[in-house]
């Protein structure tokens, strides 16, 4: 996993995904009384505060930092594979490429073949 083969446009999309995961409706449970982000830690390996700290640091990311790698990997993997239930209209408000194009960027980022959601987990 590295930036070395990613274009500036692809890095822009990756950053959109982190912001979408941290601030968008994709992983928020509005029905949860105590914590609408109760599932974030299980899905991302980061708390919502850690994920937002990374999103707020954009565009300055240390791509060697393990938490940044988790944020990138798990934002994209969960946007592509988790049943977040957000329609295309919501997707396009946060992410400037289609799911198919994002999948190509994800595979390029990973540097290996991710066959399904579970293969993409970190």
- Over residues 26-76, the pLDDT tens digits come to 999 989 888 999 999 999 999 999 999 999 998 888 888 999 999 999 999
Tell me the chain's radius of gyration from C-alpha atoms.
13
Phi, psi (deg, nearest 5) at residue 114: -110, 105
Q: Is the dihedral of CA 101, 21, 111, 82 positive or negative?
A: negative
On whether the pTM is more than 0.75, the answer is: yes
Domain assignment present for residue 54? The answer is yes
Cα–Cα dist 92/99, whole Å:
10
The residue range of the domain holding 84 is 8-110
């Amino acid at each position: 996993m590295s930036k070395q083969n990613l274009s500036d446009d692809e890095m822009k999309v990756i950053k959109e995904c982190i912001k979408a995961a941290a601030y968008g409706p994709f992983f928020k449970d509005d029905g949860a009384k105590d914590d609408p982000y109760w599932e974030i830690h299980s899905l991302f390996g980061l708390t919502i505060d850690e994920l937002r700290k990374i999103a707020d640091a954009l565009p300055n990311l240390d791509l060697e930092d393990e938490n940044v790698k988790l944020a990138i990997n798990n934002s994209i993997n969960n946007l592509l594979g988790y049943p977040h239930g957000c329609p295309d209209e919501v997707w396009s408000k946060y992410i400037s490429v289609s799911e198919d194009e994002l999948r190509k960027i994800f595979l390029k980022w990973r540097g290996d073949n991710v066959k399904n959601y579970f293969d993409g987990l970190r």
